[in-house]
Amino acid sequence: MPAEMTMLADHPARQLLDFSQKLDINLLDNVVNSMYHDIGSQQRVAQEVLTNLKDHPDAWTRVDTILEFSQNMKTKNSSSLHWF
């Protein structure tokens, strides 16, 4: 298993990929911030989570919640531009 996948398996952000749970908007905003502002492994984990979230077949069901409740414009822009 690649190192990134191992990090993701143990990372709290992994819960964003569990569509049986309510979306944690604060966690999503933090992951997006990490994607744009961190470097190294933190940024790789954020990229992995966001890519998997975006590629999930049910990702579109989260867009309305993200647009309504996110406090991060980068999160809102990412969801509206890439998930429709």
pLDDT at 11: 74
Q: Which of 32, 8, 12 shows the shortest CA–CA distance to 21?
A: 12
2, 77, 1, 9: which is closest to 49 by C-alpha?
9
When pLDDT is cut at 50, 70 and 90, the band that residue 7 belongs to is low
pLDDT band, very low/low/confident/very high, at 2 (cuts 50, 70, 90): very low
pLDDT at site 4: 44
pLDDT for 73 equals: 92
* pLDDT > 50? residue 40: yes
Q: What is the pLDDT of residue 3?
A: 46
Phi/psi region, residue 22 (left: phi>0; alpha: psi -120 to 50; beta: rest), is beta
